[in-house]
Amino acid sequence: MTVENPAPTDNPIDPYHFEPYPLQAGEEYMNEQQQTHFRAILEAWKRELMEEVDRTVHHMQDEAANFPDPTDRATQESEFSLELRTRDRERKLIRKIDQTLELLDAHEYGYCESCGVEIGLRRLEARPTATLCIDCKTLDELREKQRGG
């Protein structure tokens, strides 16, 4: 059995396993190097999601069959439905990644959209599409919980 080497990519960053940004004392928040770091993470994440969408389309085309047995047909439809729901969530995430890349282009990335403070590098590495600082996000979640959401 032979193992194929994956095709080389322009950006070898794995969106789920990357080197944390090495903070330096006195470094300006969201400087060019930090923006480059987060852009690479976001673009790798988007690329990964887009590849998964392509795999799903090919899988559904390859696996589509008209089973004579109603149980088999129902199982296949249920599996396809679950896959489509997952892809819909990923499509929404791709849209959020695109919005985040626009914030990077406008040099507005990394700042809380509610209060304007720095979100923080480690929080952004944990959740690159975060738009709220931890305090505003906590308040937002408390309000949602009180409303019964």
Chain-centroid distance of CA 147 in Å reads 28
149 band by pLDDT with thresholds 50, 70 and 90: low
121 band by pLDDT with thresholds 50, 70 and 90: very high
Backbone torsions φ then ψ of 14, nearest 5 degrees: -90, 120
Angle at 43 between CA 42 and CA 47, to 5 degrees: 120
- Domain membership flag for residue 20: no
Domain containing 76 — which CATH number?
1.20.120.910
Map residue 14 onto helix, strand or coil: strand
5 band by pLDDT with thresholds 50, 70 and 90: very low
- Domain membership flag for residue 78: yes
Q: What percent of the chain has pLDDT over 70?
A: 89
Q: Domain count of the chain?
A: 1
Tell me the per-residue pLDDT of 132-141, one tens digit each, with 9 for 90 and over. 999 999 999 9
- Domain membership flag for residue 21: no
Q: What is the pLDDT of residue 1?
A: 34
Q: Give mean pLDDT, residues 68-92.
A: 85
119 contacts 133 by C-beta, under 8 angstroms: yes
Tell me the per-residue pLDDT of 17-73, one tens digit each, with 9 for 90 and over. 788 999 899 999 999 999 999 999 999 999 999 998 888 777 777 777 777 788 877
